[in-house]
Structure 1
Amino acid sequence: MTSDGKRVTIAAIAREAGVSVPTVSRVLNGRTDVAPHTRELVERLLKQHGYRRRASRQQTGKAGLIDLVFNDLDSPWALELIRGVEDVAQAAGVGTVVSAVHRRSAATRQWLQNLRARACDGVIFVTSELTGTVHAELHRLNIPVVVVDPAGGADLEVPTIGATNWAGGRSATEHLTSLGHRRIGLVAGPRHLLCSRARLDGYRAAVEAAGGDLEDALVRPGDFRYESGFAGGVALLDLPKPPTAIFASSDTMALGVYEAARRRGLRVPDDLSVVGFDDLPESRWASPPMTTVRQPLPEMGALAARTALRLAQGQPIDTPRVELATELVVRDSTTRPGSAGGFGR
């Protein structure tokens, strides 16, 4: 225990010993791959601070669990991530608890209270900003944490899993410029998310490289939901000189753009080319099937789960920052501009 009565954490022991958290975990787990003098130092500090390990699932009699925490659960994007986490958890004999905190501090406090009452092998936060208070409490409980699509970038002291969003945004836009489009609209994602800003930067890089228009009016805000895609599509199509193509930063928003075009009497792709991002199942069954950037969501969830379980077992991870590759998937929602006589061309 510390002087103020709080339970000492593995991270605190690691800092005092000048070693990594996985090294302390290996000592606790009796691993042999630790230098003798390092083991002696860590064991002395553990004894000095009266460190007690969090009870294992065998000791508590509770099933091991992974907590998967979203801000919201109203998107098929979330279901794809859950599927990846579930595959790994089931194979490991571990359960999954899915929570939504809706960016409310009260909901976060309630989630933490519930977490303290059960055995948990690890926590996965999705598109969240891990606050110092929550991070400190998870350290105190000796629960490893992984963040998928971090809101704030690489300043987090936890492993992060993401996708190559900049490259994905660029490849989506380059596909449109390769077809001859120069006036390309964008319905962007939430500005506070790193993934949204990266897709926006990739879009701008591709438009600039092709000598296209980079007017502020061609970029409209969105929140990854259908309604914002529809609103952004309407605003873009109502411009005095509308774009010939629109890149939406999520498939769900791209479907909103489809509807905006339909209500303007326009056909996709003959009058307006549309590209999405994610490659959700809905994009394949859209009419027409949607050209999109595949984000490997199940693989991201699976890797996050494997990382959390490795940390819970005191095993090292290969790297704290992982970005899985995105891939352009060309279907039927894009074509050359002017193929049907031209709208706004």
Structure 2
Amino acid sequence: MARGRKSVTIREVAEDAGVSLQTVSRVINDGPNVRPQMRDKVQASIDRLGYVPSLAAQRMSGSRSYIILAINDRERTLQDWRERQGTDWVDQMLLGGILTCSKHGYRMMVELVDTHIDHVERELGATISALQPDGVILTPPHSENKLITELLEGRNIPFARIGSKESGAGIPLTMGDEGAAYLATNRLIELGHKKIGIIAGPKQYSLSGWRVDGWKRALEEAGLSSDGLNERGDFSYQSGTQAARALLDRNPDLSAIIGSSDQMTLAALAVAQDRGLHIPRDLSIISFDNTPIVRFSRPPLTAIDQPIAETVSIAVEQLITNGGKPHHGDVIDVKAGLVERASIGPGPKAA
């Protein structure tokens, strides 16, 4: 019977290279005081023997864990998974994070933390103690939770804050929210729309306000009013239904809607169709997120494509190569794009 291949140990590497265990450990963990020639010699033995350092061994070295930890909202993530709504935020986060971590010999892990609990410090503190990550990626709304950011800062753990422009510790990154809303609104204006409503996201997410700012700026520059054209939801389908009804009831001449999430926008599409409105002849609709489900709606939704994978990839790169230091004090803004599909058309007077 064939025997399984035995794992190569750090001792075997040391014997092959003719050096001490400590020297091999310093090379593996990119430690100081190793001559280039010695580093090359040890690396040659590692490559020849096929040695793969274990996380446990790396931790015992007292340097790095080679783990990047991403923190996501527990309640919203579990709800999306259970209801199988077609959202792919976590998928895109893993895509960008895992590929970049792998390139540097790191591993990425995801933990879900409840946004609303009072003992978030205890929960996150236990996770940090167990995993000892070399860096942490915070996603909204955790990225602006002072309890979390102060805990990480206090423990000297580098972290990135996606969806945050605040000054202070950590690397702030945004996904072009204001610019994307401005882009979407301008596209509708170009098509001849003059009454453009928005279904904004919840207030606890700063990006909700940024999107409203971009929408309003585009309207103001075109000399158009925003009065009575802003309704707020919580990113859910149900809230989108209520917001769309309110917008259409209050504005019978509304010709376009921008939704701040795919679920809210799909709800707006259903409300409009229930009222006998043709999309896009009677009402043009643009969504945010561009999750897979919007391609299969009828008609397929034009959507802002959020650069989730790219943003997380940049965050990982910064944490690994820059040690979590601020990016010259500036917010890293990763631009979003607009994917046009059949849900937008000429405005009423341009038809």
Superposed pair shares fold, TM > 0.5 = yes
CA distance in 1, matches of 2:152, 2:64: 19
What is aligned with 1:109?
122
Question: Which one-letter code corresponds to 2:229 in the other structure?
Answer: L
What is aligned with 1:59?
61
What is aligned with 1:309?
320
Deviates more, 1:138-147 or 1:199-208: 138-147
1:218 aligned to which of 210, 229, 233: 229
Note if contact 1:163-1:324 (Cα within 8 Å) is conserved in structure 2: yes
CA distance in 2, matches of 1:318, 1:155: 11
Do residues 336 (structure 1) and 338 (structure 2) align?
no
C-alpha displacement at 1:224, in angstroms? 2.1
C-alpha displacement at 1:310, in angstroms? 2.3
CA distance in 1, matches of 2:108, 2:328: 24
Question: Which one-letter code corresponds to 1:193 in the other structure?
Answer: Y
What is aligned with 1:267?
278
Which has more radius of gyration? 2
C-alpha displacement at 1:261, in angstroms? 1.2
- Structure 1's 300 and 290: CA in aligned 2 closer, same or farther, altered over 3 A? same
Cα deviation, 1:8-61, whole Å, max 9, x if unaligned, reads xxxxxxxxxxxxxxxxxxxx96499xxxxxxxxxxxxxxxxxxxxxx9525269
CA distance in 2, matches of 1:206, 1:130: 27
Deviates more, 1:200-209 or 1:281-290: 281-290
- Structure 1's 29 and 78: CA in aligned 2 closer, same or farther, altered over 3 A? same
Report matched runs for 1:107-256 at 5 Å.
Answer: 107-127=120-140, 128-150=142-164, 153-215=165-227, 217-239=228-250, 241-256=252-267
C-alpha displacement at 1:113, in angstroms? 1.3
5+ unaligned residues in a row in structure 1: which ranges?
A: 1-27, 33-54
Note if contact 1:290-1:331 (Cα within 8 Å) is conserved in structure 2: yes
Cα deviation, 1:127-177, whole Å, max 9, x if unaligned, reads 124444433432343321111112xx3223211111222211111011111
5+ unaligned residues in a row in structure 2: which ranges?
A: 1-29, 35-56, 81-86
Aligned-residue identity in percent: 28
Note if contact 1:170-1:206 (Cα within 8 Å) is conserved in structure 2: yes
Ranges of 4+ aligned residues in structure 1 off by more than 6 Å:
none
CA distance in 2, matches of 1:31, 1:325: 41
Cα deviation, 1:68-95, whole Å, max 9, x if unaligned, reads 1122313533432232222222333313
Question: Which one-letter code corresponds to 2:309 in the other structure?
Answer: P
Question: Which one-letter code corresponds to 1:282 in the other structure?
Answer: I
